[in-house]
Chains A and B, each alone.
Chain A
Amino acid sequence: MKLAVLALCLVPSLVAAEENEVTFANVPTPDVESITIEQPQGKLVLQGWDKQEVRVVAHKHARDDKALDQLTVDFLMVDGKIRIRTGVRVDNTFHPLPAADGAGIDLTVSAPRNVNLRAQTWAGDLDVSGFRSGAELSSRGGEVHAWDIDGEVRTAALRGKQRLSAIHGNVEADGTTGDVELDAIDGEVLEARVVDGQIVARRIRSPLVRLFSSSGGVVLMGTTRPGARYEILTRQGDVRLVLQRAPFTVNARAPQGAVKNGFTLTHAVGSPTTLQGEFMGGGPQLELTAAHGNVILEPQP
């Protein structure tokens, strides 16, 4: 009887067994200008480094050897432009598509810091750091995480969180479903929009900040920058600002909710649903709207 139970346990464990393979490739790239990576197979980690070469590490996993052999990383370099794609090879035809049956490739790419970068994943997370010429990043179903990047960063995520930090350049983040976290951004323009999700922004130094959530709150924490303009809007959710005691001018509206203010303003006018005024003589302009929620202004403790 015990042996029969043991057998019952063994068979599922055999079913769950998986084949794995890790492959490496180092390609000297003295004159590389741009890298485009299309990764439908799994996670993608991108790291900028100081070497003039591209290193690709592919961690393949599949349920059997044959499927493992079919998982392919396609590397193409023409005139300083590199294109890396993952996919499945069937009968000598390369399909840049996700593998079925739980098979896939997790990819780690190290590349020269100064390349123009464009990367996309399907269901896998996308982690990018250490680049100096910006990045254009998107994911259909994974999270997008970018940090320590100089230059313009544009991101889009259909179903997944976005976390952008230590970005020295303009930022444009588009989200459909998923929260957006922004920290230590200091480009000229920061614009983040999400249809269904919350936006949280900290330590923002950009002079023009636009944050919009259709169905979710927006939180801005930190200090305002002299001469800056902040346009913050939610359709269904609260706008909440937790600010250090520094000058600002505010124009807030919450037609279906209330404006709650914790600062002592001068020239203050308004009603329970509107507020205009200046703090410490006025300064950076705060345009705050919560169409169906509240606007909350409070000093940072």
Chain B
Amino acid sequence: MKCDVERLSALVDGDLSARQATRLRAHVDGCAGCARALADLETMKRGLGALPARAGEDNWSIVVNRLAQPAPVEPRRLWPVLSLRWALPSVALMAMLAGGGAWLRWHKGRGLSADKVIAHAESEFHKADEHYRRAVDELRDLAEKERRGWPLPKRAEYEAAQAQLEAAVARCRQVAEQQPADVDAEELLFAAYRKEIRFYEDQMMREAQ
């Protein structure tokens, strides 16, 4: 390597790459002239750094001069949303959406099973059955009150008809309960209930006349 003062100056100013600087320093170690020149340059730099500010430049001027300089470019933040302020809510949102989606897939994407459909239909049947039974019980109680004063033959006739109807309803209910979600069996039972209701209603209408 040839002796080069300008490169030594660049070394002092820190303008050389690490590789260039290493090679130059290796040369300086073996070259007395360059070693002296480098020492002089370093001494000069330290001296210049210690000089006071230029005369006539007050603090205001310094501020204005600094503002007039192009703004230093800060390294760009590629992921501003990942700042701590946004990170936690974002993670929470992603987790909830992912969890919700997974839950929906697990819970809602399976269609309807036969067991579920039949259980639901059975539940509806029992509600309707209960409703009919309450209505029949209500009418039976009312009819019971009215027939207390009836003559014996009339009461016997009434009770025989009532017993037949109740037996028919009991048979229909037995069939409906043995065959879960059998619509025909249910309709047969409900028709029997309606006949029973009409029986009591007819009785009350006749009495009213």
Contact = CB atoms under 8 A, between A and B. Distances in A.
A220 interface: no
A90 B183 contact: no
B112 A103 contact: yes
Interface stretch (B29-37, B63-71, B86-94): B86-94
Contact of B112 (A10, A67, A193): A67
Interface stretch (B2-10, B13-21, B41-49, B200-208): B200-208
A53 interface: no
A69 B111 contact: yes
Contacts of A63: 108
Nearest to A233: B208
A99 B205 contact: no
A283 interface: no
Interface stretch (B51-59, B120-128, B156-164, B171-179): B120-128
A39 B73 CA distance: 73
Interface string A118-157: 0000110000000000000000110000000000000010
Contact of A177 (B99, B104, B131): B131
Given A10-B100, A158-B128, A100 B89 contact: no
Nearest to B104: A14
A11 B117 CA distance: 27
Nearest to B123: A100
B181 interface: yes
A15 B112 contact: no
Contacts of B93: 3-4, 6-7
B26 interface: no
Contacts of B183: 38, 40, 96-97
B117 A214 contact: no
The 4 closest A-B pairs by CB, nearest first: A66-B111, A3-B89, A100-B120, A11-B100
13 contacts: A7-B93, A10-B97, A10-B100, A17-B104, A40-B121, A66-B110, A141-B128, A195-B197, A212-B204, A214-B204, A215-B138, A233-B204, A253-B208
Given A14-B100, A174-B194, 12 more contacts: A3-B89, A10-B97, A15-B100, A17-B104, A40-B121, A64-B111, A66-B112, A88-B112, A156-B194, A174-B198, A193-B201, A214-B139
Interface of B: 86, 89-90, 92-93, 96-97, 99-101, 104, 108-114, 116-121, 124, 127-128, 131-132, 135, 138-139, 142, 181, 183, 190, 194, 197-198, 201, 204-205, 208-209
